Copies of this chain bind each other. A is one copy, B any other.
Amino acid sequence: MPEGIAPRLIPAIVQEGLRGRVLMMAWMNRRALAQTLRTGFAHFYSRSRKKLWKKGEESGHVQEVREVRLDCDGDVILLIARQRGRGACHAGFRSCFFRRRRGGRWVVADPRVFDPGRVYHR
């Protein structure tokens, strides 16, 4: 198990290149981090399903991890990754952060790049 990280669940940010789009944030425990380091593919811990999951296990939109970074307090992970497939977001966008605050509302600011109905079958 990698030392130096908090024993609880910690946020893991996924960024497409060190100066790329922030794609998503999910949660990691030590096992998810160990599995990510071992395999080179992003793994997280699902709080709702209470289990480890590999990003893209259903959609095929896996994330190849290039760099794993840790913050100053040792309780946030940053994955620098290559996104396979058209997007990281289950709603059909490249990034989960496709909405932007404008005029007092959240508005969609990015184009949809795939049809979630054709990618996710459950």
Contacts and interface: CB of A to CB of B under 8 A. Distances in A.
A52 interface: no
A69 B19 contact: no
Centre residue among A69, A104, A106 by max chain B CB count within 10 A: A69
Copies in the complex: 2
Interface in A15-35: 15, 18-22, 24-25
Nearest to A20: B19
Contacts of A19: 19-21
Contacts of A72: 89-91, 93, 96, 98-99
Interface in A66-122: 67-73, 76, 78, 89-91, 93, 96-101, 104, 106, 109
Interface of A: 2, 4, 11, 13, 15, 18-22, 24-25, 37, 67-73, 76, 78, 89-91, 93, 96-101, 104, 106, 109
Q: Please list the 10 inter-chain residue pairs (A to B) with the smallest Cβ-Cβ separation, ordered nearest first.
A: A69-B97, A68-B101, A71-B96, A78-B97, A72-B96, A25-B76, A70-B99, A72-B91, A11-B11, A69-B100
